[in-house]
Amino acid sequence: MFEKYRTNKLLKKLAIYGNRLQWIKKKRKNLPEQTEKKLDENIKKISDIFEEKNRAKNNSGSSENIYQKISFAYVSKILGETEYNFSHFFNKYKQNPLAELVEELWLVVLIALLLKFFVIGSYRVPTGSMVDTINIGDNLFVSMFSYGLTLPFASGQFVEFRNPKRGEIITFIEPGPEKKALVKRVIGVPGDTVFISGKDVFINDKKLEHNKIGKLSYTSSRGDERNTTQFTETDSDGNSYNVIFNDDFSDAIRAKVESQCPYCARSIKIPPRYYFVMGDNRDDSFDSRYFGMVPRNNVQGKPLFVWFSIQFGSSIFDIIDVRLDRIGHVFK
């Protein structure tokens, strides 16, 4: 009985070495000829032992017969040879868990980076500048190839497919010192003349139409309740989208804000490869009225749909709203 126990212990250890040798055989290419020959011989000896064990078990079913065929002395001899070979020939080819993990994951990481920079990006909206087209806390999937292809960590797109159009929502890098990633709607394209006064937007001397929809309330990113009036705005190309204006803003307040606005109450001619963008929440949006026009090189992509939506308060433990109904919301 004690002999069987000792033999089984050696067999378990031998099986572990067998798996390691098989891994080297499968994964390591162009081994030295002597090493490869010893590896094949060692694998065969270990395989023969376990094949003999299986044959003996299948033929008689008696454990006594098995350990007559596979003696403790023989298993011990093969294990000793294997340990010697591993120490002198195979050790430097053995599996390194960390290195193998990197080897297995590099392709996954590469694909993820390619998807991020060339196909699909993810963008979380922290402010209310696009309410209620895009809500605070919406997580967006963004098409990174709608307008062109951008090299990782480079400015500008090395291949351009097409240019943004009026009425489209785009993601871009703010043309200011902070270089924030922002999402706004294109109001003016190259060649347009833009003039903004109060609630009115004029493109090429034509006022954008506003049709009142009704009242809309939302919780701002600061946690206070905002009451607004919602309108449908239609541009000269027939694009329609919803915009809102703060009900608490009187004409006097709006005029005061406008006095701090560098690109309000003045006619602006948009040069080639520049775009004028605005938020749909007109009284709570930091956009081209303040930082100027967006260069074509700063354009990143086009939002596709919402994949998750949650609005936090002052901390991640302060959840204002979880909007499962927003999941899958598609942007035109």
The type of residue at 161 is F
What does residue 149 show for φ and ψ, rounded to 5 degrees?
-120, 135
How many Å apart are CA 94 and CA 88, to the nearest integer?
A: 12
How many Å apart are CA 255 and CA 183, to the nearest integer?
A: 25
- The DSSP element (H or E) to which 60 belongs, if any, is helix 33-60
Sign of CA dihedral 314, 315, 318, 320: positive
DSSP state of 330: B
Q: Please identify which of the residues 129, 146, 221, 288 carries the catalytic annotation.
A: 129
CB atoms within 10 A of CB 41: 12
CB atoms within 10 A of CB 127: 19
How many Å apart are CA 279 and CA 288, to the nearest integer?
A: 9
CB atoms within 10 A of CB 84: 11
Q: Is 80 exposed, middle or buried (0-12, 13-18, 19+ CB in 10 A)?
A: exposed
Q: Please identify which of the residues 38, 146, 184, 302 carries the catalytic annotation.
A: 184
Cβ neighbors of 170 (< 8 A, separation 6 or more) are 147, 164, 183, 184, 185, 186, 275, 277, 299, 300, 301, 302
Asked if 144 and 119 touch (Cβ cutoff 8 Å), the reply is yes
Q: Hey, what are 276's tokens? A: 């004028």
Query: Has 184 been annotated as catalytic?
Result: yes
How many Å apart are CA 308 and CA 39, to the nearest integer?
A: 53
For the annotated catalytic residues, the residue numbers are 129, 184
